[in-house]
Structure 1
Amino acid sequence: MTRGIDYGNLMHQAMRGLIREVMIRTAEHGLPGAHHFFITLNTQYPGVEMADWLKARYPDEITIVIQHWFENLAVDDQGFAVTLNFGNQPEPLYIPFDAISTFVDPSVEFGLKFETHVDDDDEDEDDDEEAPMLHSVPEAPKAGEVVSLDKFRK
């Protein structure tokens, strides 16, 4: 017997697909105009690949910026690889889409935030449901800052 339609999981998949499509277009055509991305990710997520020194510096979470200088952007079904500059040192990264907690393009005031929620009806289960939250970004965010729509609700 099914419990119903899992809208949270369906939205999660759709928003990860949106990020994938944006990254594919960026890999193929570069960043148009003023577009750029702030991407926050869980550095402990399985499949995240980064230099040991970088993971030691950011043991839980890092926000990367894809803007002026990036190389070797390649996208697959599970995530993307990119080389970024950290203190004048190019470093290759691999980021599974499921490791991403926020994706922001401040040039067009667009942002996605994936939050983990526990369903009150399923207190006996250990499963957390991760549901994407759409966010409007009113001004260019500072590194690591995510603006929530809840801030503007009455």
Structure 2
Amino acid sequence: MVAEEDFTDRRRKLMRQIAANLAQVDGTRLRPGATDAEISEFECGNGVVLPASFRSWLEISDGGRLFSPEGIELYGVVHPPLLELDDPYTPEGGWLVVGMMPDTDLVLVSLTGEATVVYNREGGTFDDAVRYGDFFAFLEDVLRQWTISG
């Protein structure tokens, strides 16, 4: 059930570099990656295909915490907290909660494309200022913002 959608080997290499850079930032703890079989089991068991960029991230890190104590929590398919398709705060329209921002806004990936967004769960709205083409772009921006402001 893997959807590659132009997520190239070059971009996978860059994602591994982002993970290495994130791991060097104080307060970041990345969990070991999930195997292809573990990710496929999640997809098959839930009847979904994860976006290629997020799936590639799970192979590098199956969740973790970025920039503790006030940082971002990312979810995994093997390591808790686990991805849940029935999250009550998920908006309609094929989104999966993959993390939580420090202000409790949710990080969502599209189950119908590659988009990654930050969703204001209190207001029930998407913020167009925090909409990314894929999970890779989200990680790039997060690393840039936190290393500049941190």
Q: State TM-score, norm by structure 2.
A: 0.27
Q: State TM-score, norm by structure 1.
A: 0.26
Q: Which structure's residues are more often helix, by fraction?
A: 2
Q: Which structure's residues are more often strand, by fraction?
A: 1
